[in-house]
Amino acid sequence: MDELLKLIATALKLPIGDIAPATSMKTCAAWDSLAHMEIVIGIEEHYRIVLDGDEIADMVSVAAIVDQLRKRGLLDHGA
């Protein structure tokens, strides 16, 4: 989970301490379409997966990203 938060923070160019489950496209000015694609690419490279269009479109918050990765069995439910 820490690596995921670090990946998101890097894409958003924010300190990791600013990243929380509630961080989203609506609440974070840095989370624009370019940053969104950087997050997606980072996740795909780190977890060695390919996300489909629906998954990418649903990843509008940290919590939604965690949910998507849990569905794939890539994160523990306790993480």
Q: Domains of the chain by range and CATH?
A: 2-71 (1.10.1200.10)
pLDDT tens, residue by residue, 11-50: 999 999 999 999 999 999 999 999 999 999 999 999 999 9
- The set of residues, in sequence order, having a beta carbon less than 8 Å from that of 8 and lying 6+ positions away, is 19, 23, 39, 42, 62, 65
Q: pTM score, two decimals?
A: 0.92
Instruction: Give the CA diameter of the chain.
Output: 30
